[in-house]
Structure 1
């Protein structure tokens, strides 16, 4: 069996007796996230950490967020293996924080799209969302999310909620899309069927307003939460503050946020 050779063993052979100190610096403003995972990776490589900022720390261009030392091979490996634990979740945290700030505490920001990420990075994505101040779950306690496919299988919102009526310990979150019935009919059935969160997942402000109106007419506005989703852009949040909505579920614009730009520099050799 052939074992791949790490060329760094040969490259650094003559200088492996030396110790190298390196800094990771941010190249843009944002929020730091993923430091725990970066520290664990550095520890596994045998590096010594001298300085590290905490997750959630606001940073500006030029700020040093991590300083560590090790032998030359360790430092080279760290550049390949450690930066990603910080760059991506920090970018997500920055986007989540922007959304939360724009919501001004009037609407809860949720990003449940982390559940659709590959298993190996789910924890990083979710951590970024939560570090930015967004929620990773639409309901904090036990709940059942009844999406469009449940409604399609059962044939209606009413039938879907009837199927889970016996699960009394779970809050019911149901997706309203107006595919099978008019969305106001779905909203009425959702309220009558005991749903706790009505997720208007069409991206249509007209649908959102219509659902709000029917819920108010039923005298049920204080009993349920209204959520809104469907390609929501962070820049549109100020406009959405004018609508009757409790929760915004923002996926792509948070999950696919650009990386926090980082650089790693060797700063001392001894």
Structure 2
């Protein structure tokens, strides 16, 4: 998997630092009270569910942020199908440090593994089509980095990371701007004035708006929002490959394959990040 641009060392360090500050505060007083400072122990990451493992690459960064002397032996990599009883890795070193890092590692890996598992499942439903599965910005505040990373591990494709790396003209933008053509024209003017180069996606609600987007030109993707499969097929035929297409809105596990069969290039599904159940994991002393 190619490293996405948002997975910078700075972004990862900031995420881990703020997450530990939230959890640890002025100290892990349970470990400080009960465990001798000189105690050295080991633990392993036990899988207690079934799915796709994710967050293994993140775990050492968390452990080492807590204590650089902790040593990990990684046995299973990100993207590995796992079952109950599998051991993902072992960690050894100061016992207090293992306990302090434990919950953040588990929180991240359980959530990421659940997202990767659900992404892999939905991707399998699109087998035989050209359609790729996209995530959305419907993510947990301050946890988007991990959630989008998990989508990639599960075989999905990341949409824009935030408001800054793509222009997406959605229904409210279009209504406020005075229509599809006016919104696109204003966007082109903005990019010229600011010297920015950003891809432009336009959300459309019907075939009339699809045609307006095509007439305006200079766009990189057309979103077909809340359209039924018959209307999606009409829109794909109208666009005729001139611009990549994305179906979005109200698409469920039950309708995903039917939507993919319409010929759209992408399907975006918010449920990948906001509704995936976790995979149960546990860090056990041994």
TM-score (norm 2): 0.78
State the distance in 2 between where 1:94 and 1:112 align. 17
Q: Distance in 1 between matches of 2:83 and 2:276?
A: 18
Q: Which residue of structure 1 aligns with residue 6 of structure 2?
A: none
Q: Residue 180 of structure 1 corresponds to which residue in structure 2?
A: none
Matched, 1:44 2:65: yes
Partner of 1:63: 86
**How far apart are the structure 1 equivalents of 2:258 and 2:103?**
42
Query: 8 Å contact 1:21–1:68 — kept in the other structure?
Result: yes
Change (3 A) 1:223 1:138: farther
Alignment correspondent of 1:208: 232
TM-score (norm 1): 0.82
2-side partners of 1:26 and 1:243: how far apart?
A: 38
Unpaired runs of 5+ residues, structure 2, are: 1-25
Cα-Cα RMSD: 2.4
Give the distance between the partners of 1:127 and 1:255, measured in 2 at CA. Answer: 14
Change in CA separation of 1:134 and 1:111 when aligned onto 2, cut-off 3 Å: same
201-210 or 62-71: which moved more?
A: 201-210
Query: Cα gap change, 1:51/1:5 in structure 2, threshold over 3 Å: closer, same or farther?
Result: closer
Q: Which residue of 2 aligns with 1:80?
A: 103
Per-residue deviation at 1:226?
A: 2.0
Question: Structure 1 residues 164, 44: CA separation in 2 closer, same or farther (over 3 Å shift)?
Answer: closer
The residue aligned with 1:176 is 204
**Cα deviation digits, residues 48-98 of structure 1 (max 9, x gap):** 212342222222221100101123322322332321121111111111112
Alpha-carbon separation, structure 1, partners of 2:117 and 2:74:
22
- Give the drift of 1:146: 1.0
Of 245, 265, 270, 1:226 maps to: 245
The answer to whether the 8 A contact 1:203-1:232 is kept is no
Which shows bigger deviation, 98-107 or 60-69? Answer: 98-107
CA distance in 1, matches of 2:75, 2:114: 18
Where structure 1 has 5 or more consecutive residues not aligned to the other structure, the ranges are: 178-182
**Alpha-carbon contact 1:231-1:252 (below 8 Å) kept:** no
Alignment partners' CA distance in 2, 1:262 and 1:212 = 43
Give the match's secondary structure for 2:235: helix
Counterpart Cα distance in 1 of 2:30 and 2:266: 52
Whether 1:108 and 2:129 are equivalent positions in the alignment is: no
1:202, CA displacement in angstroms? 1.6
Q: Tell me by how many angstroms 1:42 deviates.
A: 1.0
Mark the structure with the bigger radius of gyration: 1
**Moved >4 Å (runs of 4+):** 166-170
Tell me how far apart the structure 2 counterparts of residues 65 and 188 of structure 1 sit (CA, whole Å).
51
Match of 2:153 in 1: 131
SS of 1:101 mapped into structure 2: helix
Judged with a 3 Å threshold, the aligned counterparts in structure 2 of structure 1 residues 20 and 201 are, in CA distance, closer, same or farther, namely: same
